Chains A and B, each alone.
Chain A
Amino acid sequence: MKRGEIFGFLGPNGAGKTTAVKMLLGLARPNSGDAAILGQPLNSLKARHITGYLPELFRYQEWLTAREVCRWHAALLRIDAAKRTSHIDDILQRVGLGERADERVGTFSKGMQQRLGLGVALLGEPQLIVLDEPTSALDPVGRADVRALLPQLKAKGATIFLNSHLLAEVEAVCDRVAVIDRGSLIATGSLDELLGHLALRISFVELGESLRRNLSARGAAFDGGSTAIFGHIDESAVPALITDLVQNGAAIKAVQPIRRTLEERFLELLKEE
């Protein structure tokens, strides 16, 4: 992982995603090997200080209020007592629990408990935030909230490790991803690297002979009707291409980028394995 990126960690059930996360956080012991968290030795107190974690199985003391749960974790993190109250208020607002801060966790729905877990993970503004299936219990609004929150955290300098089954979610927010299967890494890279090059489909109102020649010269293929397909095109070249075609009198009906989804690529990778 690189500092300051949102890193997606993917794999089928039983691939070892949660086990890997648990080893990074000192919840499980590795048989062999070593790792470092932002340069700090695994399991060192320093590494733990700079890491926030939302477990897949999130459970907090149901007899405490959301604010008390945060206060207790804040005390463990040695957050300055003078700033603690305002920091906790801010965190609870950000995860949508501002109005319910003084209610007992036992009265919370699963989704609210997951929001609390996210809040606990954000306490102390950790440099690394490890989120294990952070939206598994959330409704569509909650998922959208989390998707919006992650880039904000990244903008503040946090590095985010996202372990999720929801590939569309990973595709929407992650800079780079890794795919593991049966405990081994089978692919890693940026989304562009992993999903391959962009293809482009351009539909015209009418595809005349001169326009067809023009498009052929640029490497397009045709589907037999009035649609041209660029099998491999640099994403940055698309605006200039469209402008040029329009200036040459082409009547464009639709421009459709074509790229494999992360889900398609993910299934391909598993099949290859």
Chain B
Amino acid sequence: MIGNILLVASLIWREATRRRLLPTVAIFSLVLIGATAWGLNRIATFHNPSGHTISHYELTVLTSVLVVMMAFMFCIIVSLVSAFLGALSMGVEIENGILLAIVPRPLRRFEIVLGKLLGNIFLMAAYTIVIGAIELAVVRGVTGYVPPHPVVALLYLTGVGAVTLLITMCLSVRVSAVAAGFAAIVLFGLARIAGFADTIASALNNTAVQQASLIVSLVVPSDGLWRGAAFALEPAAMVGLGGAVQRGNPFIALAPPTYAYLAWSAAWAIAFVIATIALFARRDL
């Protein structure tokens, strides 16, 4: 069983290098990193008209906010990459008939699903962690700022990518690859909007909106995991400021996800894997 899963996964890794998927995405990501490095350098060496440079404290505060903003933009890119990978591996291969020659081989359909999941999650995680780590290293090199829990943040971002990947792969068993990828991105956006609404509703004590947001965050846990990433990147001083302004800021997380929420997210992921296996087992090709 493991051998077949790894064989299927190996094909995805080989495809990513042969078709230059990862190198292409990595090059564009590195260009973005270069742009942010230039921008941060401009801030770090900023002189006002009277000749004063920005203080270390000011630079740290500004960078800590910018890092969270950049992480959010990176989170969107990770989700897009995940939707693309998920649609490409399952939906496209069903549509173009590649699976017709694979499914009759002596392997089980669930091994195909697990192999594709393993291959894609490995690729997405490698991309997220390597590019994210380079970005944070550049921030440190230019400004000297290191967020409190960078590794935890990258793991949460990988979790966000996994949510989009699982949704795309599951849907693409039943609907077209394009529709599945599009739906996964829309759900990611919906979860983020619900997260925004929750942040504002909690500042205004609107329980109805908070409950609606909670339901969305349970159905699509990407925003809950994003908040974990945001919290891991925020310095304690930023969180400690508290107050209505901080509570109403949709880019700031005042607490990490609870263990119960993380357990729920893990159960959600397992349920999606099982659903994908069940749907693919019943799919006529």
Point out residues on A near B: beta carbons under 8 Å: 22, 25-29, 45, 48-49, 51, 53, 55, 57-61, 63-64, 72-73, 75-78, 117, 120
Residues of A within 8 A of B107 (CB): 45, 48, 76
Of A58, A63, A77, A120, which one neighbours B106 at CB under 8 angstroms? A77
User: B98: CB under 8 A from chain A?
Assistant: yes
Of A22, A60, A63, A75, which one neighbours B19 at CB under 8 angstroms? A63
User: Is B97 in contact with A58, judged by CB distance below 8 angstroms?
Assistant: yes
- Residue pairs across A and B with CB atoms within 8 Å: the count is 66
Q: Separation in Å of the B216 CB from the closest CB of chain A? A: 35
User: Is B101 in contact with A60, judged by CB distance below 8 angstroms?
Assistant: yes
User: Is A59 in contact with B97, judged by CB distance below 8 angstroms?
Assistant: yes
User: Is B18 in contact with A73, judged by CB distance below 8 angstroms?
Assistant: no
Q: Separation in Å of the A54 CB from the closest CB of chain B? A: 8
Name the residue of chain B whose CB is nearest to the CB of A76: B105
Residues of B within 8 A of A60 (CB): 98, 101
User: Is B106 in contact with A76, judged by CB distance below 8 angstroms?
Assistant: yes
Q: Separation in Å of the A97 CB from the closest CB of chain B? A: 16
User: Is B7 in contact with A76, judged by CB distance below 8 angstroms?
Assistant: yes
- Given known pairs A22-B284, A45-B106, A75-B7, the reply for A63 and B101 (CB within 8 Å) is no
CA distance A77 to B105 in the complex (A): 7
Q: Separation in Å of the A37 CB from the closest CB of chain B? A: 10
Residues of A within 8 A of B101 (CB): 53, 55, 58-60, 73, 117, 120
Name the residue of chain A whose CB is nearest to the CB of B6: A75
- 18 A-B pairs whose Cβ atoms sit less than 8 Å apart in the complex: A27-B100, A27-B104, A27-B285, A28-B284, A45-B107, A51-B104, A53-B101, A57-B100, A58-B97, A58-B101, A59-B101, A60-B101, A63-B14, A73-B101, A76-B4, A76-B107, A77-B106, A117-B101
Interface contacts beyond A64-B14, A73-B105: sample of 11 additional A-B pairs, CB < 8 Å, sorted by A: A25-B104, A27-B284, A28-B285, A49-B106, A55-B100, A57-B100, A59-B97, A64-B18, A76-B4, A76-B7, A76-B106
Q: Separation in Å of the B109 CB from the closest CB of chain A? A: 8
Q: Separation in Å of the A124 CB from the closest CB of chain B? A: 10
Number of interface residues of B (CB under 8 A): 22
Tell which of A48, A49, A61, A120 has the most Cβ of chain B within 10 Å: A61
1/0 contact trace for B79-115 toward A, CB 8 Å? Answer: 0000000000000000011101111111110000000
Residues of A within 8 A of B285 (CB): 22, 27-28
CA distance A25 to B107 in the complex (A): 12
User: Is B104 in contact with A48, judged by CB distance below 8 angstroms?
Assistant: yes
Q: Separation in Å of the B282 CB from the closest CB of chain A? A: 7
Point out residues on B near A: beta carbons under 8 Å: 4, 7, 11, 14-15, 18-19, 96-98, 100-108, 282, 284-285
CA distance A22 to B100 in the complex (A): 9
- Given known pairs A72-B7, A75-B7, the reply for A48 and B282 (CB within 8 Å) is no
User: Is A57 in contact with B97, judged by CB distance below 8 angstroms?
Assistant: yes
Of B98, B105, B106, which one neighbours A59 at CB under 8 angstroms? B98
Name the residue of chain B whose CB is nearest to the CB of A116: B101
Residues of B within 8 A of A63 (CB): 14-15, 18-19
Residues of B within 8 A of A61 (CB): 11, 15, 98
CA distance A84 to B98 in the complex (A): 22
CA distance A236 to B18 in the complex (A): 61
User: Is A27 in contact with B18, judged by CB distance below 8 angstroms?
Assistant: no
Name the residue of chain B whose CB is nearest to the CB of A120: B101
Q: Separation in Å of the B127 CB from the closest CB of chain A? A: 19
CA distance A75 to B115 in the complex (A): 15
CA distance A72 to B19 in the complex (A): 18
User: Is B96 in contact with A59, judged by CB distance below 8 angstroms?
Assistant: yes
Name the residue of chain B whose CB is nearest to the CB of A123: B105
